[in-house]
């Protein structure tokens, strides 16, 4: 029932002025490269998810097991393919429900289904047939197929007069080559444009613009192949953004001891061909830097010698690490292969000469490993394989751009799952730890390359967030997320794990309690595959992991609060204050033009009745706010009118605070903000709303 009847105006309302559509328009985009301010790291309660399970909080220090319904279902490649086909068949309908313009289309990229039947469909966006870089979004639906909320970067409808560039493609190519050489990312003699620039819409940097994307090949400073993407404004020729598509990392060498390998027999010989894991093959590049190499074969299926005297040894370690990583993602997270399609990647060892690194390359769907200094220590251990394959998982899911804060999150994701795979392997010769590269001694002093408990111990990585962290090399800005994951898993302070001593500080000097690695890894994976987008920064990563924790453990639970506190310990957001009584939903909800009412939900875990002075703070972005009717819906379905429509209110946006007598309501439960646009022509979205008890 409704407390206040709607006062719907009668007659024709005044004609309004409309904006001319001569350029692309966007309300906001979330690519943050060193732009996150202290105020942008919102309070923990400001990230209350729009959808969370009503689960009672655990007692302090007692962390519950995750809700099995919220965990990803273990899909076969055929089941995943069917979900993608279903999403593809209804993508036009989905675009309409999201309020996209006539020239905007959706392209299905991936579908994740939870055990309870809820789905999370990841889309790329196009405008007039052009790819929209930074326009990716994830639509979250219930088992019944109802859209609950949408995670997106560019929220507004796009329009432009035409897509004819003022700057020709050849000019963009020349600018990209000059940029690559100036950045010293390429050896000048090797820098080449791999193919003609493609026309795109760049929407990840604030206001979408028509642009050229040029991919520059060649070599990076350390000999790693390069595929540097240069985004050039098609109207002015100005370089808007650059990012590297070849991701690299390091880890320990051949210390796995005697292992079991997945091989296949071909005639009278055996191959490093793991038919049980998507046909993953391992090749010998024979010190070359291009091509696939020669598939490893053996007469008796007994491989390597444990030392570099046998070329097979590096292949054994790489092949074994790939198998462990495959098993980890399948058994822990229900993902069959890097892309979820059951297809194996492949590995190449003995790359170049004295190459002290390893890298993942999407274009070949493969991992490549150097032999280290003096070709004496191949970088082929468990954590290296897991690190590189995880770059592939990230590319197939969130697609985190390998630059700025999103690049740090990309690199950290690989470090995080390198650690969890190493623990999962339970290999006595290479025990699980929170160190990166602890056995290859690249530094020459026996120290690891990176430390997750205190990243700054390597001399360059960052322990906590600050406004300029997006300008740091991604291998070092990753320290913020690495530190967060360690604190979330193990807690702060001194401790010893598997014989390794750690002592993790916090940015605010306050202690943090860990929830256990098993819970932390599920939260990070769920956030990566369901909430993160290409331009996710640290503030948005916090929101995504809080949403994941809410789904798995309940919003307001001890585990949920621990996630907020672990982020606060690395200076992203604030700590949870018990009894604050403030609950906020921040996921955007599109409001269809002259369409059905939409709702944004939040779950309140609070004993007793709601107050007679319940505070409701609303932030809605919408032109001509007189179009809107807004209600607060209590857990029992009672509607409290906050705002009526008005044909005379032509101002933009609803940013208001209301007081509601909700003393007859139980505080605990799912509260909703219901919004309906009752007139045509103007659109918008619910940005956030808050309840204060």
291 with 216, same domain: the answer is no
Other residues' Cβ atoms within 10 Å of the Cβ of residue 373: 14
Which H or E run includes 316?
Answer: helix 312-333
Q: Which domain holds residue 597?
A: 582-692
**28: pLDDT strictly greater than 60:** no
244 with 219, same domain: the answer is yes
C-alpha–C-alpha distance, residues 619 and 623, integer Å: 13
- Does any domain span residue 362? no
- Does any domain span residue 452? yes
Number of H helices, E strands in the chain: 11, 32
Of the candidates 81, 72, 114, the one whose C-alpha atom is nearest the C-alpha of residue 341 is: 81
200 with 58, same domain: the answer is yes
118 with 207, same domain: the answer is yes
Other residues' Cβ atoms within 10 Å of the Cβ of residue 584: 21
137 with 239, same domain: the answer is yes
Mean pLDDT, rounded, for 35-55:
33
Other residues' Cβ atoms within 10 Å of the Cβ of residue 268: 7
Say how many residues make up the chain: 693
**418: pLDDT strictly greater than 60:** yes
Check which CATH number belongs to the domain holding 592 and give it: 2.60.120.260
C-alpha–C-alpha distance, residues 446 and 9, integer Å: 76
Instruction: Retrieve residue 222's tokens.
Output: 């350390």
Catalytic residue check, 194: no
* pLDDT, greater one: 39 or 215: 215
Catalytic choice (185, 186, 388, 411) = 388
C-alpha–C-alpha distance, residues 92 and 649, integer Å: 33
> Of the spans 106-115, 184-193, 238-247, which averages the highest pLDDT?
106-115
- Does any domain span residue 101? yes
- Between 152-156, 162-166, 532-536, the lowest mean confidence (pLDDT) is in 152-156
Of the pLDDT bands very low, low, confident and very high (cuts 50, 70, 90), residue 498 is very high
**At which residue do the structure tokens 């905007």 appear?**
104
Q: What is the CA radius of gyration of the chain?
A: 26
471 with 616, same domain: the answer is no
DSSP annotation of 83 reads H
Q: Tell me, rounded to whole angstroms, the distance of Cα 659 from its chain centroid.
A: 37
Other residues' Cβ atoms within 10 Å of the Cβ of residue 7: 10
Of the candidates 396, 401, 403, 335, the one whose C-alpha atom is nearest the C-alpha of residue 362 is: 396
Catalytic residue check, 140: no
Beta bridge partners of 582: 692
Instruction: Retrieve residue 551's tokens.
Output: 């789904």
Within 463-616, where are the H helices? Answer: 474-477, 479-490, 517-530, 538-553, 558-568
Residues 72, 529 contacting (CB under 8 angstroms): yes
Which H or E run includes 422?
Answer: helix 404-425
**579: pLDDT strictly greater than 60:** no
Choose one of 578, 600, 618: the last residue of a domain. Answer: 578
- Does any domain span residue 372? no
What mean pLDDT is reported for the chain?
84
Residues 306, 313 contacting (CB under 8 angstroms): yes
- Does any domain span residue 655? yes
- Does any domain span residue 628? yes
- Does any domain span residue 267? yes
Render 594-632 in DSSP notation, one character per residue: T---EEEEEEE---SBPPTTEEEEEEEEESSGGGEEEEE
Q: pLDDT for 72-95, tens place per residue?
A: 999 999 999 999 999 999 999 999
- Does any domain span residue 481? yes
Q: pLDDT for 553-574, tens place per residue?
A: 988 888 898 899 999 999 998 8
* pLDDT, greater one: 251 or 640: 640
**48: pLDDT strictly greater than 60:** no
421 with 317, same domain: the answer is no
Of the candidates 268, 365, 254, the one whose C-alpha atom is nearest the C-alpha of residue 316 is: 254
Mean pLDDT, rounded, for 219-247:
84
605 with 547, same domain: the answer is no
Catalytic choice (391, 475, 483, 622) = 475
C-alpha–C-alpha distance, residues 275 and 263, integer Å: 7
C-alpha–C-alpha distance, residues 75 and 83, integer Å: 10
Residues 340, 80 contacting (CB under 8 angstroms): yes
**What torsion do the CA atoms of 524, 530, 531, 536 make, to the nearest 10 degrees?**
80
How much of the chain exceeds pLDDT 90, in percent? 59
CA 254, 258, 260, 263 dihedral sign is positive
Phi/psi-derived region of residue 145, left when phi > 0, alpha when psi is between -120 and 50, beta in every other case? left
Other residues' Cβ atoms within 10 Å of the Cβ of residue 102: 10
Mean pLDDT, rounded, for 219-239:
85
pTM given for the model: 0.72
Check which CATH number belongs to the domain holding 267 and give it: 3.10.170.10
Q: Regarding beta strands 130-141 and 198-202, do their DSSP bridges make them parallel or antiparallel, or are they unpaired? A: parallel
C-alpha–C-alpha distance, residues 334 and 647, integer Å: 52
**35: pLDDT strictly greater than 90:** no
| 678 burial level (CB within 10 Å; 0-12, 13-18, 19+) | middle
Beta strands in 362-425 (DSSP E): 366-370
482 with 602, same domain: the answer is no
Residues 16, 624 contacting (CB under 8 angstroms): yes
Q: pLDDT for 157-181, tens place per residue?
A: 777 778 899 999 999 998 888 888 7
Q: Regarding beta strands 280-284 and 346-351, do their DSSP bridges make them parallel or antiparallel, or are they unpaired? A: parallel
C-alpha–C-alpha distance, residues 540 and 32, integer Å: 10
Residues 649, 630 contacting (CB under 8 angstroms): no
C-alpha–C-alpha distance, residues 323 and 343, integer Å: 13
Of the pLDDT bands very low, low, confident and very high (cuts 50, 70, 90), residue 34 is very low
Check which CATH number belongs to the domain holding 552 and give it: 1.10.390.10
143 with 207, same domain: the answer is yes
> Would you state the pLDDT for residue 248?
56
Choose one of 522, 545, 578: the last residue of a domain. Answer: 578
Phi and psi torsions of 445, nearest 5°:
-120, 15
641 with 670, same domain: the answer is yes
**16: pLDDT strictly greater than 60:** no
Render 129-152 in DSSP notation, one character per residue: TEEEEEEEEEEEE-TTS-EEEEEE
Give 12's contacts (C-beta < 8 A, 6+ positions apart): none
| 497 burial level (CB within 10 Å; 0-12, 13-18, 19+) | middle
Choose one of 578, 604, 620: the last residue of a domain. Answer: 578
571 with 593, same domain: the answer is no
**49: pLDDT strictly greater than 50:** no
Q: Total structural domains in the chain?
A: 3
Q: pLDDT for 586-621, tens place per residue?
A: 778 999 999 999 999 887 767 788 989 999 999 999
Beta bridge partners of 247: 360
Instruction: Retrieve residue 370's tokens.
Output: 């150097």
């Amino acid at each position: 029932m409704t407390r206040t009847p709607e006062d719907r105006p009668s007659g024709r309302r005044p004609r309004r002025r409309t904006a001319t559509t001569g350029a692309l328009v966007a309300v906001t985009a979330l690519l943050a490269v060193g732009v996150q301010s202290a105020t942008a790291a919102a309070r923990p309660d400001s990230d209350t998810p729009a959808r969370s399970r009503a689960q009672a909080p655990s007692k302090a220090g007692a962390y519950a097991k995750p809700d099995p319904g919220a965990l990803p279902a273990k899909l076969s490649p055929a089941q995943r393919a069917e979900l993608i086909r279903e999403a593809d068949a209804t993508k036009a309908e989905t675009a309409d429900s999201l309020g996209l313009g006539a020239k905007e289309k959706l392209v299905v990229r991936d579908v994740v289904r939870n055990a309870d039947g809820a789905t999370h469909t990841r889309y790329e966006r196009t405008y007039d047939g052009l790819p929209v870089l930074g326009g990716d979004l994830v639509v979250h639906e219930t088992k019944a197929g109802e859209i609950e909320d949408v995670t997106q970067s560019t929220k507004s409808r796009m329009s432009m007069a035409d897509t004819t560039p003022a700057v020709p493609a050849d000019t963009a190519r020349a600018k990209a080559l000059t940029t690559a050489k100036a950045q010293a990312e390429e050896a000048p003699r090797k820098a080449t444009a791999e193919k003609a620039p493609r026309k795109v819409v760049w929407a990840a940097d604030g206001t979408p613009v028509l642009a050229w994307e040029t991919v520059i090949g060649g070599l990076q400073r350390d000999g790693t192949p390069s595929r540097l993407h240069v985004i050039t404004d098609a109207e002015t020729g100005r370089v808007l953004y650059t990012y590297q598509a070849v991701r690299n990392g390091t880890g320990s060498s051949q210390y796995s001891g005697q292992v079991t390998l997945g091989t296949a027999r071909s005639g009278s010989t055996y191959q490093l061909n793991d038919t049980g894991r998507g046909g993953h093959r391992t090749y010998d590049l024979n010190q070359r830097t291009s091509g696939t190499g020669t598939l490893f074969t053996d007469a008796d299926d007994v491989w390597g010698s444990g030392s570099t005297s046998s070329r097979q040894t590096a292949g054994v370690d790489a092949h074994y690490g790939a198998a462990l990583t495959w098993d980890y993602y399948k058994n822990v997270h229900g993902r069959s292969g890097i892309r979820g399609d059951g297809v194996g990647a492949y590995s190449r060892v003995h790359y170049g000469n004295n190459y002290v690194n390893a890298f993942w390359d999407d274009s070949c769907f493969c991992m490549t490993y150097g032999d280290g200094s003096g070709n004496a220590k191949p970088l082929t251990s468990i954590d290296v394989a897991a690190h590189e394959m995880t770059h592939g998982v990230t590319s197939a899911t969130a697609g985190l751009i390998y630059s700025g804060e999103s690049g740090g999150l990309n690199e950290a994701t690989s470090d995080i799952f390198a650690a969890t795979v190493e623990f999962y392997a339970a290999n006595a010769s290479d025990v699980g730890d929170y160190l990166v590269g602890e056995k290859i001694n690249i530094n020459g002093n026996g120290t690891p390359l990176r430390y997750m408990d205190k990243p700054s111990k390597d001399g360059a990585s960052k322990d906590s967030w600050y406004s300029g962290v997006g300008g740091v090399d991604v291998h070092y800005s990753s320290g913020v997320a690495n530190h967060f994951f360690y604190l979330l898993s193990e807690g702060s302070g001194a401790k010893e794990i598997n014989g390794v001593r750690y002592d993790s500080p916090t940015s605010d000097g306050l202690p943090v309690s860990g929830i256990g690695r098993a819970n932390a890894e599920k939260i990070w994976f769920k956030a990566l595959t369901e909430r993160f987008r290409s331009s996710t920064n640290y503030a948005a990563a916090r929101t995504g992991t809080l949403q994941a924790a809410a789904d798995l453990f309940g919003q307001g639970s001890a585990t949920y609060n621990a996630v907020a506190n672990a982020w606060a310990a690395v200076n992203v957001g604030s700590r949870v204050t018990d009894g604050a009584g403030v609950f906020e939903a921040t996921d955007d909800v599109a409001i269809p033009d002259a369409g059905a009412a939409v709702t944004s939900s939040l779950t309140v875990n609070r004993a007793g009745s709601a107050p007679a002075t319940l505070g409701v703070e609303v932030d809605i972005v919408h032109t001509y706010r007189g179009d809107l009717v807004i209600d607060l819906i209590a857990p029992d379905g009672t509607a409290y009118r906050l705002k009526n429509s008005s044909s005379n209110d032509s101002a933009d946006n609803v940013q208001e605070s209301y007081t509601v007598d909700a003393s007859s309501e139980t505080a605990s439960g799912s509260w909703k903000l219901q919004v309906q646009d009752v007139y045509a022509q103007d659109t918008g979205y619910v940005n956030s709303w808050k309840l204060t008890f």
